Chain A
Amino acid sequence: DAGVIQSPRHEVTEMGQEVTLRCKPISGHNSLFWYRQTMMRGLELLIYFNNNVPIDDSGMPEDRFSAKMPNASFSTLKIQPSEPRDSAVYFCASRPTNTGELFFGEGSRLTVL
């Protein structure tokens, strides 16, 4: 299997622009997670889905952030409008069941100027 695939790997944008990050989980996995990693705050869970349904979005910073999972093979994390403090590496991870180890993508590095 190709693993968890994230795109883009790098994104540089200007404050106020819309950003969309994409994730393709491993085929057959039914849980998907979005994390944000910064030096200051470490690894933060933003939201996770089980069977395409959002289970816990309490980590989503504010209304500017939204996540969708329209089907089992695709998820998006959208930031609109983006701000410099959103600069971070965003990771997507999936797992085959509702418990157990996570399989991480390589991350999307976002820089908001």
Chain B
Amino acid sequence: AQSVTQPDIHITVSEGASLELRCNYSYGATPYLFWYVQSPGQGLQLLLKYFSGDTLVQGIKGFEAEFKRSQSSFNLRKPSVHWSDAAEYFCEREGSQGNLIFGKGTKLSVKP
């Protein structure tokens, strides 16, 4: 079955440090991949998406993600985290039928 795995439930980083959130998807044809962010009490907001082409995609708020087919991964990165980045992050893939599969999410805490 198609699935999305975010292995880290909770990550804490210091402000100014770099960040990498992991996402792995189950094997299949190249999926459409997305990262969303959810601030407390809010809905999910799209950070970036990958459909095809350049495997390094840039998103909003200084985030980027790299699609690696060989590792079935789509990890989210940011070189320097800000306190306002504290939120929950969701990886999502879209299957060939248009069905949507979300990971369980990774909660990011930022230490001052």
Contacts and interface: CB of A to CB of B under 8 A. Distances in A.
A101 B34 contact: yes
A102 B44 contact: yes
Contacts, number: 43
B49 A107 contact: no
Contacts of A43: 44, 90, 102, 105
B63 interface: no
Contact of B42 (A56, A99, A103, A106): A106
Given A42-B104, A56-B99, A107 B43 contact: yes
Interface in B9-43: 32, 34, 36, 41-43
A100 B32 contact: yes
Interface of B, helix, strand, loop or mixed by DSSP: strand
Interface residues of B, number: 18
A48 B41 CA distance: 23
Contacts of B52: none
Given A103-B46, A104-B44, 17 more contacts: A42-B102, A42-B104, A43-B90, A45-B100, A91-B44, A93-B43, A93-B44, A99-B98, A100-B32, A100-B94, A101-B34, A101-B46, A102-B100, A104-B45, A107-B41, A107-B42, A107-B43
Interface of B: 32, 34, 36, 41-46, 49, 90, 94, 98-100, 102, 104-105
